[in-house]
Structures are given as C-alpha cells and as structure tokens.
Amino acid sequence: MEPGNQTSILGFLLLGFSQDSKHQPLLFGLFLLMLVVTVLGNLLIILAIGSHAHLHTPMYFFLSNLSLADICFISTTIPKMLQDIKTQSYSITFAGCITQMYFFMVFGGMDTLLLTWMAYDRFVAICHPLHYPVIMNPRLCGLLVLVSWCISLSCALIQTLLMLRLSFCTRRVVAHFYCELAQVLVLACSDKFINYTLLYVVTALLGFVPLSGILFSYMQIVSSILKIPSTGGRYKAFSTCGSHLTVVSLFYGTGLGVYLSSDASSSSWKGMVASVMYTVVTPMLNPFIYSLRNTDIKRALQSLLGFKLHVQ
C-alpha cells in the first residue's frame, strides 16, 4: 500500500507533560481544579454583568464576551487532557485533532480581538469622553463582536481545511498536551509551505496587528492622562485600565512568547508550560483580576453571591 494520509485511521499520540503513573494524580487534580475555577469564575462574571443593569455598558459587554470565550477556550483542551490521564490513553483521532485545533484557534482569536476592542473602549472613554456615548453605541459594540467571530471562524477554518491536504505517514507523536498547529505541522511528510505561510499571516493578523492597536491605544491614553492636572484625576483615569492592562500583559506575554521563541520542531517541556500560562492560567485569573481591581464588578458579585467580598 502506498504511503498516504493514514491519520484518518491511526490518529496521533499526545505526549502531554508526563506519562509517569506517579505524577498522574497530581496532574489530574491540578488541571481539574483549574478547569472548575476557570469555568465558575468566568460564569460568575457573565451572570454578574447580565443581572445588573448598570453594568450594561460597552466595557462590560466586551468583558462578558471575553469570559464566554475563555470558558470555551479552556474547554477545548483540558477535558481531553483529563480524559487521557484518567483512561491512560493518550491517542486522538485525526478528526478529533482537527476539531480541537479548529476550536482552539477560534476562541484564541476571539480573545485577542476582544482584548483589542476593550483597549479601544478605554481609549475612547479617556481620550474622547464627551463623544464616548455616541462612538461606543450598542450597534458598534455588537458589530465589533460579530466581526471578531467572522474573522476568528474564517481564519481557523482556512487553516484546518489546509491541514486536510497534508499526508502524515509514520511519526505521529505530538510533543504537546493538545493538538497544537505548529507541532502537528512538523509531523507532515508532504509540502507544508502554504500552511506555514498562512500560519505566519494569521499570527500577524491575530497577534501583531491587535497588539499594535492595543499599544497605540495605551500610548494615547497615557498621553491624555498626563495632561490631567490633578493627581487624583490621573489615578482614577488610569485605574479604569489597570485590570485590562494586566490581562493583556499575561495573555500576550506568554502567548506570543510561545510562538516566537519556541522551536516547533523540538519537544519542549518549557513550551508546554508557557502554553499552560496563556491557555489555562490566564483565563483562570481573568475573573480574579477584574473582581479584585474593579469596584463595579466586585459589588455586582457581592450582590449575586449574597455576601461581602473582603478584598482591597
């Protein structure tokens, strides 16, 4: 039989962090805890925003969509990892790998674009406060989220469809805990030029372009804040950006670092740890960052939960 695309039958083997039985209970408990905390935390943010009319503003509209994207983002990888640890079976079918890859790219792309719109929202609020209600109207906010979905779905669909043209002959071991695109591409034995070209284009489109927009927004924000005469006014203006800036730093600092500095052709334990930072830890920390640093969210959560949160 001629070598061809045999992965539709055989699938891949996910190495994960460790297949040592001594480490499995610790890994299972740790990632299960992070999954539960992430889902519950982001769900509380969505419920708090949805149940309080005074939070029905552009900033919290984007935040609720970010929380939804984070729930979906972590749900594309960790449940499969937990199942692998539980069953001691680390295989994944070709269809399952492509599906996981597709949804991972969709929700990862949504995160980057939503963080960009949140930066733009803060830019308009601080630099053009008198025009804020007119510019950031509900129609524009809804349109921005719709455009984000269209871009993320389209980019992910094109990349996954191009994966179907590749042949995977013999070596089918993915040096990761999920089907990461660059790691799977390494295993292909057919021409990958188009796939790599598209990977770089999409990385620029959903990585560098949004990051450039965020940096530009904050340059303008800092410039406007420095023009405020009172120290209290400067602090109040900048405090509205603190949570978002923290999340952006975590997400981009770990996410882009993985794709820019790691060697996709080698098995890197450090690369997997960095991936956990932006695929698991950042979505898990987002609710804490916004609830601890944002008075409105804190009060809404207190009202929703029925007790006072004793945080500064």
Give the number of domains in the chain. 1
**Is 187 part of a structural domain of the chain?**
yes
Q: Which two tokens stand for residue 312?
A: 């500064």
Query: Which among 45, 79, 83 is positioned nearest to 65, based on CA atoms?
Result: 45
CA distance 205 to 152: 10
Q: The CATH number of the domain where 154 resides is what?
A: 1.20.1070.10
User: What is the number of other CB atoms lying within 10 angstroms of the CB of residue 90?
Assistant: 19
Amino acid occupying residue 274 = A
Query: Which domain, by its residues, includes 73?
Result: 11-295
**Is 207 part of a structural domain of the chain?**
yes
CA distance 248 to 116: 9
* pLDDT band (50, 70, 90) for residue 266: very low
**Is 151 part of a structural domain of the chain?**
yes
- Entry pTM: 0.89
**Is 178 part of a structural domain of the chain?**
yes
How much of the chain exceeds pLDDT 90, in percent? 52
107-146 tens-digit pLDDT: 999 999 999 999 999 999 999 999 999 999 999 999 999 9
Is the confidence at residue 160, as pLDDT, over 60?
yes
How much of the chain exceeds pLDDT 70, in percent? 90
Do residues 64 and 50 lie in contact, with contact meaning Cβ atoms separated by under 8 Å?
yes
**Is 2 part of a structural domain of the chain?**
no
**Is 49 part of a structural domain of the chain?**
yes
Question: Between 235 and 222, whose confidence is greater?
Answer: 222
Query: Which among 191, 58, 174 is positioned nearest to 118, based on CA atoms?
Result: 58
**Is 246 part of a structural domain of the chain?**
yes
**Is 311 part of a structural domain of the chain?**
no
Element (H, E) at 48: helix 24-50
Beta strands in the chain (DSSP E): 12-14, 91-92, 173-174
